[in-house]
C-alpha cells in the first residue's frame, strides 16, 4: 500500500513502524462534547505518536464561518512542524475508532498540500485489539519542515454549496442523521433543517464503527444517492468533521474530486438570509 492511499490496516502500520524511517504518527482522538482527546493520549498511545488537537490546531477558531472552519495556514504549518511532519514524508493519523476526526485530519493535511497521509483503519481500538504495543511515554519528535500550501483538495463555501445543491447534474450530500436533516431536531446549531436541494445520506449508511465498506459497495451506496461517474459531488454535516469522513469514503469509491463544505450547517445558518428546507425531500 502506498503512502498516498487513504487507509492503512494495523498489521501494515506495525510493519512500517519497524522500518528505519517510519511514518509520522498523529493522534487526533476527539469527541464532539469532550472530554479532550489529550487525556486519552496521556493514558496510552502508539509509540512515537504526537497528539494534535482537532479543535485548536487542525481548525480555525469557531465563529460565523462554522464550528470547525479552515485553519490559518501559518498556524497549521506551525502545529504540523511541531508534531514532526516532514515535507513529502508519510503521515498516519488515528482517532478513537469512529474514523471522524482522523478523516478530518487526513482531509486537512491533504488540503494543505501534504499528499502522503493515511488513516489507521479502526483507529486506536483496532491497534489495541490486535495486541500491538502502546505506551504512556511522551513523544518528542524532531521538528518537521512541512510547508502548508492550501488548495490540495476542493472546498465549498456557502454559495458554492447552494449552487451544487441546485444543480440538476450535481449532488450535495447531507450526512447528518435523518431527524436533523428533516428539521425535526437540532441539538447543536440554532436552526434546524437542511440546505435546499441537498440529499440525505447519514454516515452510518456508508461507514460502520469507523470501518468502511469495500470500494464497490461504497460506489453502489453513493450511486443510490445520485452520485454516478462524473457527477459533481460535495458533502456537509454540522461542522465539517463527519462530512470529511464522507469525502474519504468518496475517495475510496474512486471520487477524489469530492468537495467538502468545511463550514457546513454551522456556517449555513450563521446567515439568516440563507434559505432552510425541512422535511424528507431535498
Q: Considering the candidates 119, 237, 253, 260, report the single residue annotated as catalytic.
A: 237
Q: Could you tell me which residues are beta bridge partners of residue 118?
A: 92
- What letter would DSSP give residue 223? H
What lies within 8 Å, CB to CB, of 280 at 6+ separation is 178, 181, 182, 200
Q: Is residue 237 annotated as a catalytic residue, yes or no?
A: yes
CA angle 149, 145, 68 (to 5 degrees): 50
Tell me the C-alpha distance between 57 and 72, whole Å: 9
Q: Spell out the long-range contacts of 128-131 with Cβ–Cβ below 8 A and sequence spacing 24 or more.
A: 130/10, 130/11, 130/14
**Block residue for cell numbers 458554492:** 160
- Partnered with residue 233 across adjacent β-strands are 171
Phi, psi torsion values for 211, nearest 5 degrees? -115, 135
- The cell for 49 is 505518536
- Catalytic positions, please? 237
Amino acid at each position: 500500500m502506498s503512502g498516498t492511499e487513504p487507509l492503512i490496516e494495523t498489521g501494515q502500520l506495525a510493519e512500517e513502524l519497524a522500518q528505519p524511517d517510519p511514518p509520522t504518527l498523529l493522534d487526533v482522538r476527539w469527541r464532539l462534547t469532550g472530554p479532550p482527546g489529550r487525556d486519552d493520549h496521556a493514558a496510552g498511545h502508539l509509540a512515537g505518536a504526537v497528539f494534535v488537537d482537532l479543535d485548536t490546531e487542525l481548525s480555525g477558531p469557531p465563529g460565523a464561518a462554522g464550528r470547525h472552519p479552515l485553519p490559518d495556514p501559518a498556524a497549521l504549518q506551525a502545529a504540523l512542524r511541531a508534531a514532526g511532519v516532514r515535507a513529502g514524508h508519510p503521515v498516519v493519523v488515528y482517532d478513537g475508532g469512529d474514523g471522524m476526526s482522523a478523516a478530518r485530519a487526513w482531509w486537512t493535511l491533504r488540503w494543505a498540500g501534504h499528499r502522503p497521509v493515511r488513516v489507521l483503519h479502526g483507529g486506536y481500538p483496532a491497534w489495541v485489539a490486535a495486541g500491538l504495543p502502546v505506551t504512556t511515554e511522551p513523544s518528542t519528535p524532531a521538528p518537521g519542515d512541512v510547508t502548508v500550501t492550501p488548495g490540495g483538495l476542493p472546498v465549498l463555501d456557502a454559495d458554492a454549496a447552494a449552487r451544487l445543491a441546485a444543480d440538476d447534474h450535481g449532488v450535495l450530500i447531507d450526512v447528518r442523521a435523518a431527524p436533523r436533516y428533516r428539521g425535526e431536531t437540532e441539538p447543536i446549531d440554532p436552526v434546524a433543517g437542511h440546505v435546499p436541494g441537498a440529499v440525505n445520506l447519514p454516515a452510518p449508511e456508508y461507514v460502520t464503527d469507523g470501518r468502511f465498506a469495500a470500494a464497490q459497495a461504497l460506489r453502489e451506496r453513493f450511486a443510490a444517492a445520485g452520485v454516478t461517474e462524473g457527477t459533481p459531488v460535495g458533502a456537509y454535516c454540522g461542522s465539517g468533521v463527519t462530512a470529511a469522513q464522507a469525502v474519504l469514503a468518496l475517495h475510496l469509491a474512486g471520487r477524489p474530486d469530492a468537495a467538502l463544505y468545511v463550514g457546513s450547517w454551522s456556517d449555513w445558518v450563521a446567515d439568516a438570509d440563507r434559505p432552510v428546507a425541512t422535511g424528507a425531500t431535498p
